Structure 1
Amino acid sequence: MQTTPHRTPSRHARRSAAALITAALIACLLSWAGGSPAQAAPGDGSVSDPNITYVGRWDTGTGTAAVPGWTGAYLQTAFTGTTVKVKARDAVNLYVSIDGGSDVFYAGVRGTVNLTPRPLSPGTHTLRISYRSGDTVFQGLVLDSGARTVSANTPSQLVEFVGDSITAGALTDRLALDSYAWKTGEQLGMRHTQIARSGYCLVARSGCTGLSTQFFKTSSTGNQDWDFSRYRANAVVVNLGTNDIGHGVTGAAFQSAYTALLRDIRAKYPNAHLFAVQTLKKRYVTETKAAVGARTNSGDSKVHYVDTTGWLTDGTDYEDGNGHPNEAGHTKFANRLSPVISARLAGTATNSARAAAPGQPGDPNIKFVGRWDTQSSATAYTPYWAGAYYRTGFTGRTVKLKQRGTIDFWARIDNGPVKFYDDVKGTVNLTPSPLAAGNHTLQVNYQVVAGSYRGDAIFQGLVLDSGATTFAPSAPGKLIEFVGDSITVGTTSSQNARTAYGWLIGERLGTEHTQIAQGGACLVAAADGCVGLEQQFGKLNPNAATPAWNFSRYQANAVVINLGTNDVGHGVSSTQFQSAYSSLLRKVRAAYPQAWIFALETFRGRYVPQTEAAVRAAVSGGDSRVSFVDTTGWLGSGDLTDSVHPNDKGHRVIADRLAPIISARIGS
């Protein structure tokens, strides 16, 4: 074992001082030039905090107040600490969900409103706020001292609903939150918007605003054009015509306006599926079908007519005689509409995904994170490297996992406690106590197959209740990849990959995360058999030369490299190491053109000058998104299980130090 090289404190002091001066100069220059430091700092909870996601059409132009323009708009974020407050300008009615819980109604509140009268447990929490009525103006959040927001796990797909009072949820207890539109979006696990208002028509008439033109505006009243670059819809559902008949709109005028609206929506959302819904009162049915047919005949294959005949029952599913569903009616509507949308969106996936039954390999609603072999077998998916996992949503009350051979794995349902399954195989019941009926989420990751542990890490599908299905879960918009050896794997920590610093950082920052790491790996492939990650980084399997990994499967926003601890014991020279490190940086950049790359100083201080030199060479060569991370002093003897591997506390210490460095660069 080689003794860790001694480095004088003065060198690190000089380096830290220089880094602080450089950071200050950069901040000043960017502020003078109008760059990001002039904006809100990520994590401060202000209106322009980039960790707050606004879903729907919000006017955020002032920077100090965010105003939703249509019904059903909401905002999402995550935050640390134990309390959170929202600032309201004047009296407002709003709904608040924390940590995915039920929406709590706040009636007529104003000023700084405490959303956690009973403090939460310390940690990271999620927050969603939607406005009902009153002075619907968001002015920011107030957090605990030292707390901050983090990016929430918002779904990548969005469905937009265009309609009148029915789409707005009129006459229900919670309005937009009880509408079929909100319920459908939630069932699909997608972001959702409601471009809808009571009394609106398709065709503009005296006393009736026409959505054929108002759809393209920021708010339900006013003439400001909406900036469609703010978001892109994957699906648009149009439910219009109920009110037009009372304002004398002829069939010809309706059909012409409907055809034009579909055409104009297509111009804004080139790849979205458009659904023209038959109104519940069956008004303008022939004209709606004809408008869809006109678009289909023009070559638009992603426009669909939805026949709602028989979806709701008169006298049971309505609040009144004017076509307004009650809460149960809206739920029935959503239950019928969700699979129609899901089937079309799934149709853009691969043939194997289209053919897969819910819960089986190939089901597009199952999100596989990391490097999984999904090509060798249509019935069994294999994860490679450490820290791979999958996540899905499912309906019903029970779920079971089909395992081919004996394996250890961890499962988590509805963000509850993580449960360890030891040496199980066959059909494993994950819900011995049935859940409440409704929508649920599941995340599973397998024990790392390496060294003496040879479990059968093969996914063969889920077993759901009769009539149950899957849905796409909420998915973070960013991904961090961690490249390393047994330290990055989490060897000797209590749950291996789950308790390793990479997993912890990904969860803390609200991102997807991968651990392209193997115990005993080197940077440089050694003649005595040490796996060299400079070569294997681009492979599906760390222990096979082929096949190459398909980097189009995902793109990382950040890559953290922690290599060099093992190379010393395999005779790798300084020159070899530096050359290989430069080569790895080039390969990572080619794979992820926009990622920020962090080169960590190994915790034992090995090959530090060579790692720094490789980073300097990359920067000098024009790659400005590469950083060296000085880890001196991060770990003490109490943070290690031996002289090399961090224990659980040590991994938390690393996460505490490294997460803010990554977040500052990628904004999570």
Structure 2
Amino acid sequence: MQTSPHPSPRRALPALVTAALLACLLSLAGGSPARAAAGDGSVSDPNIAYVGRWDTSSGTAAVPHWTGAYLQTDFTGTTVKVRARNAVNFYASIDGGPDVFHAGVRGTVNLTPRPLSPGTHTLRLSYRSGDTVFQGLVLDSGARTVAAGAPTGLVEFVGDSITAGALTDRLALDSYAWKTGERLGMRHTQIARSGYCLVAQTGCTGLSGQFFKTASTGGAAWDFSRYRADAVVINLGTNDIGHGVSGAAFQSAYTAFLRDVRAKYPTAHLFAVQTLKKRYVTETRAAVSARNSAGDARVHYVDTSGWLTDGTDYEDGNGHPNEAGHTKFAERLAPVVRARLGSGATVKAAAPGQPGDPSIKFVGRWDTTSSATAYTPYWAGAYYRVGFTGRTVKLKQRGTIDLWARIDNGPVTFYDDVKGTVNLTPSALSSGAHTLQVNYQVVAGSYKGDAVFQGLVLDSGATTFAPSAPAKLVEFVGDSITVGTTSSQNARTAYGWLIGERLGVEHTQIAQGGACLVAAPDGCVGLERQFTKLNPNAATPDWNFSRYRADAVVINLGTNDVGHGVSSAQFQSAYSSLLRKVRAAYPQAWIFALETFRGRYVPQTEAAVKAAVAGGDARVSFVDTTGWLGSGDLTDSVHPNDRGHRVIADRLAPVIAARIGA
């Protein structure tokens, strides 16, 4: 985001003189001071929190400077609108939901074309480009803003185009800086701009000086009393080398910059990040050492070697990560920052039962980094498990969804089309410790439920705890059969879920209805490609396989490929590729390649398994499923019914158990 510089207000008169003069003028005019009422949604409403470097001096228009600045507030009512002066592009997130892009809008922009349920909601607004001027909110009659429960901690990121998220789809929102801040549950700022250096040179603005200014251009000094950073992450040096900055000049400037940042943030931890292209590494280390030797123990060097992979994690050859690369960067950086801030720092830990609570175990592929307040499960069969105290538990749901909940290993209860605060204990439990497991209806086809976890509501004084969990995990990869389509509870009554429960292991279903092995030109999702992704329907980001390790992987693919023109040779090649990807993800897992229940591509599946074994992978097995299912086990000619899934589980569970000892 780039905005034209806005001059700072003229030097104020002494406060007492100003107040007296204003009172006198108002008395003559017969009026009273015009000031924003808390809750009115105006620019100066104290319930609106501005994060980043904003010029709010006019009282009627707030202008964000640098990239990644945002505002947030809570509000009551069922609708919210934002006033835009001229055409602008921005993102808005309501109730922790996705950041919805509003392109080229102006005037009064309706952020809730579908009214919300009555109650209190959250709003976050971040500008991308255009006339980036916030002129206030329009609320329902009688509604008001409410101060947002924002984290107290703040992390500031200083850098160039990489920190700004250049070349990604959403720029600042896709950057490692934004993702790291969200992952830490902290407020975050990005004092970054494309092409900037550390050392000022002809044609390259130096952040060693511009960092201390209100805007990315111009000379107005920033008022550092507006906020205090708890951590500052500096990622500079990538561009300096192209502008003739010597090693000595860089080291001297970096050392001085660290000193000057320390003067503004006396207690912050400062992190000097090794640039991804490994430029000025020795000089950056030396600058950190110099500050440490001067007695500043809160300055740290961050070695990023091996964090990203060439060819897969970059948009270009100039060191700009793609969305997946930024996600990987954030996943490596966040623990480094968190370790230094420690439990006693100002980072606000997730409250019991809220997203980020370490006592909640999320099984499957959940997006836990895009938002600190809303976790989204992808693929089928994802679930979470948590222990809690007290007598009641409620689930906070953003939008309408079908879900299943099980308390204390009791019966599974189905909740149909629920939203808001869902009471899972209409009859109070006995006092003590309890367990809860929840999974959502598979969002696919015509069913578009809002499968988003926003937290639990517990009794006053109650808390959560980590329940005992299985040590092993089995992953099932497939199409609608593995999803459990046409069975009574979808993923819950599919053979994968049944086997996992029977063997006493964690289980995931990396499956989607209609999926192929090979990505087809007509749009059939190819799991050979999508197996490595967080989302079955998105090219990025990649899934972080360090989140869990599978002890066994069951592949059941090929049923749909024949209807999409996939040749035998294509299928065999893709199957071999998938086996390699699974092995790379899970080096010790047993891999089971199932013969499809309709007997499609059987020779090719067997050949891919034999090739893997011949290549030295002895932990791959072909599973002959001939005769497993009869006509009474199917709801149609393809999909097993509940009995059919139980039959598959009866036959397959012992095969898996024999290999992994479950």
Kindly indicate whether residue 314 of structure 2 is the aligned counterpart of residue 331 of structure 1.
Answer: no
Q: Quote how far apart the aligned CAs of 1:36 are.
A: 11
Rate the CA distance shift 1:434–1:158 in 2: closer, same or farther, 3 A. Answer: farther
Check the 8 A contact 1:91/1:135 in 2, yes or no: yes
Check the 8 A contact 2:395/2:424 in 1, yes or no: no
Kindly indicate whether residue 75 of structure 2 is the aligned counterpart of residue 76 of structure 1.
Answer: no
Kindly indicate whether residue 62 of structure 2 is the aligned counterpart of residue 66 of structure 1.
Answer: yes
Check the 8 A contact 1:365/1:393 in 2, yes or no: no
- Which residue in 1 is equivalent to 2:423? 419
SS in 1 for 2:66: coil
Rate the CA distance shift 1:427–1:394 in 2: closer, same or farther, 3 A. Answer: farther
Higher relative contact order (CA 8 A, sep 6+): 1
- Which residue in 2 is equivalent to 1:343? 339
Q: Quote how far apart the aligned CAs of 1:464 are.
A: 7.9
Q: Quote how far apart the aligned CAs of 1:401 are.
A: 3.4
SS in 2 for 1:296: helix
- Which residue in 2 is equivalent to 1:101? 97
Rate the CA distance shift 1:349–1:232 in 2: closer, same or farther, 3 A. Answer: closer
Please point out which of 23, 43, 47 is paired with 1:47: 43
- Which residue in 1 is equivalent to 2:16? none
- Which residue in 2 is equivalent to 1:144? 140
Matches within 5 A, 1:626-637: none
Distance 1:420 1:281 in 2: 52
Distance 2:152 2:397 in 1: 19
Corresponding letter in the other structure for 2:257: L
Q: Quote how far apart the aligned CAs of 1:399 are.
A: 4.0
Q: Quote how far apart the aligned CAs of 1:293 are.
A: 0.8
Kindly indicate whether residue 192 of structure 2 is the aligned counterpart of residue 207 of structure 1.
Answer: no
Corresponding letter in the other structure for 2:280: Y
SS in 2 for 1:55: strand
Corresponding letter in the other structure for 1:102: P
Rate the CA distance shift 1:32–1:121 in 2: closer, same or farther, 3 A. Answer: farther
Q: Quote how far apart the aligned CAs of 1:258 are.
A: 0.7
Check the 8 A contact 1:398/1:434 in 2, yes or no: no
Check the 8 A contact 1:43/1:51 in 2, yes or no: yes
Distance 2:451 2:112 in 1: 26
Check the 8 A contact 1:409/1:447 in 2, yes or no: no
Q: Quote how far apart the aligned CAs of 1:429 are.
A: 2.4
Distance 1:178 1:349 in 2: 26
- Which residue in 2 is equivalent to 1:623? none
Query: TM-score, structure 2 length as denominator?
Result: 0.55
Distance 2:467 2:210 in 1: 45
Q: Quote how far apart the aligned CAs of 1:119 are.
A: 2.0
Matches within 5 A, 1:492-571: none
Distance 1:210 1:330 in 2: 24
Check the 8 A contact 2:153/2:348 in 1, yes or no: no
Rate the CA distance shift 1:460–1:319 in 2: closer, same or farther, 3 A. Answer: closer
Q: Quote how far apart the aligned CAs of 1:69 are.
A: 1.0
Check the 8 A contact 1:395/1:438 in 2, yes or no: yes
Kindly indicate whether residue 428 of structure 2 is the aligned counterpart of residue 428 of structure 1.
Answer: no
- Which residue in 2 is equivalent to 1:400? 385
Q: Quote how far apart the aligned CAs of 1:255 are.
A: 0.7
Check the 8 A contact 1:159/1:236 in 2, yes or no: yes
- Which residue in 2 is equivalent to 1:409? 392
Cα shift readout 1:220-240 (whole Å, capped 9, x = no counterpart)? 001111111111111110000
Distance 1:36 1:346 in 2: 48
Check the 8 A contact 1:90/1:111 in 2, yes or no: yes
Rate the CA distance shift 1:104–1:304 in 2: closer, same or farther, 3 A. Answer: same
Cα shift readout 1:278-310 (whole Å, capped 9, x = no counterpart)? 100000001111111111111111111111111
SS in 2 for 1:252: helix
- Which residue in 2 is equivalent to 1:576? none
Cα shift readout 1:329-385 (whole Å, capped 9, x = no counterpart)? 1111111111111111115469xxxxxxxxxxxx9834479xxxxxxxxx9xxxxxx
Q: CA RMSD in A?
A: 3.5
Check the 8 A contact 2:191/2:211 in 1, yes or no: yes
Distance 1:32 1:259 in 2: 55
Distance 1:307 1:439 in 2: 35
SS in 1 for 2:438: coil
Distance 1:467 1:161 in 2: 38
Identity across matched positions, percent:
69
Distance 1:328 1:278 in 2: 19
Corresponding letter in the other structure for 1:329: G
Distance 2:246 2:306 in 1: 26
- Which residue in 2 is equivalent to 1:187? 183
Distance 1:294 1:50 in 2: 42
Check the 8 A contact 1:365/1:392 in 2, yes or no: no
Q: Quote how far apart the aligned CAs of 1:442 are.
A: 3.3
Distance 1:366 1:222 in 2: 39
Corresponding letter in the other structure for 2:349: N
- Which residue in 2 is equivalent to 1:445? 458
Rate the CA distance shift 1:463–1:158 in 2: closer, same or farther, 3 A. Answer: farther
Corresponding letter in the other structure for 1:442: G
Rate the CA distance shift 1:435–1:250 in 2: closer, same or farther, 3 A. Answer: farther
SS in 2 for 1:71: strand
Distance 2:214 2:109 in 1: 27
SS in 2 for 1:431: strand
Kindly indicate whether residue 170 of structure 2 is the aligned counterpart of residue 174 of structure 1.
Answer: yes
The runs of 5 or more residues in structure 2 that have no matched partner are 1-22, 354-358, 360-371, 399-419, 444-449, 474-662
Q: Quick check: 323-332 or 142-151, which moved more?
A: 142-151
Check the 8 A contact 1:48/1:60 in 2, yes or no: yes
Distance 1:185 1:393 in 2: 15
Distance 1:447 1:154 in 2: 21
Rate the CA distance shift 1:274–1:317 in 2: closer, same or farther, 3 A. Answer: same
Aligned length: 399
Q: Quote how far apart the aligned CAs of 1:71 are.
A: 0.4
Check the 8 A contact 2:96/2:373 in 1, yes or no: no
Kindly indicate whether residue 232 of structure 2 is the aligned counterpart of residue 232 of structure 1.
Answer: no
Rate the CA distance shift 1:319–1:40 in 2: closer, same or farther, 3 A. Answer: same
Q: Quote how far apart the aligned CAs of 1:458 are.
A: 6.8
Q: Quote how far apart the aligned CAs of 1:394 are.
A: 8.2
Distance 1:31 1:419 in 2: 54
Distance 1:367 1:333 in 2: 26
Q: Quote how far apart the aligned CAs of 1:44 are.
A: 1.4
SS in 1 for 2:108: strand
Corresponding letter in the other structure for 1:252: A
SS in 2 for 1:417: strand
Q: Quote how far apart the aligned CAs of 1:427 are.
A: 5.7
Q: Quote how far apart the aligned CAs of 1:143 are.
A: 1.6
